Amino acid sequence: MKLFISVLCVVAALVVAVGAAGGGYIVILKNGERLRCNEPLAVDGNLAIVTLSTGQVTSLPIDQVNLVATERYNKLGLGNALTIDELERTEKIGPTPTPRRTLGNYATLSGIGDQVELSSNLPPTPTPTPGIKLQLNPYKDPKINAAFIEILDKKNLYLYRTSAGSQPEYFFIQAVTDTQREVFHALKTVAEAFDMIATRRPDLAPSAIELRMIETSGRTAGTFRITTEDAATLAGGTIPPEKFYVENVIF
């Protein structure tokens, strides 16, 4: 009985709830710092807008944020709870640029048409759609498969596999991405390939691309379902891949 109680004490000590579990959000920076926040971050151009657990709203360059690690951590459902070793990290951030738009502007964005919904209004990790994975059977049209392979190779995306998607009209791509830079490169490259095919052969193009990015170890780095409209905005630079990632990732 004493041994059992001791084990329970050890387990309880492993995680210290800094905020209520299931509530809040953790933003992980590339330098290893963790920021306890009240809600998911939003992206404004090249800035990440965060609301700290203290209620302070601040911004920092998006390239300082490890978006993949942030989304993966928040998928665990720990809210803004941090493990003991993470409590030793500082949460101070240096002076950051002022956002190009005030936060009040976000309240009017609806996510309709060319507008973008504020990511903090969405769950940090939307419920994944079952079946978004590499299938045993290839896509129904070999010409489309060959076209994707040709374009992706020319754009230097080499570590990938293709198959049919979760629906007959969906095309699936699984790409190996071990760094955040590779994640955004794969996202932009797949969008550009899809946009090119949809523009040239709309009669043959799939209705959506299902993209699953994984690390060499097999860990998921992000899953997406990209429509022709999504591909056009990404390929045309209307939305940067960092912002698209934050607002559309489904793990």
How far apart (Å, rounded) are the C-alpha atoms in residues 193 and 231?
Answer: 8
Tell me which residue has tokens 């978004």: 132
Please report, in tens digits, the pLDDT of each residue of the chain (251 residues total).
Answer: 544 444 444 444 433 333 334 468 999 998 888 888 988 999 888 889 999 888 888 888 998 999 998 988 888 776 666 554 444 444 444 444 433 333 333 333 233 333 333 333 434 444 445 578 999 999 999 999 999 999 999 999 989 999 999 999 999 999 999 999 999 999 999 999 999 999 999 999 999 999 999 998 888 899 999 999 999 999 999 999 999 999 999 87
Q: What is the pLDDT of residue 101?
A: 36
Q: What is the pLDDT of residue 129?
A: 53
Q: What are the chain's domains? A: 13-121 (no CATH), 142-248 (3.30.70)
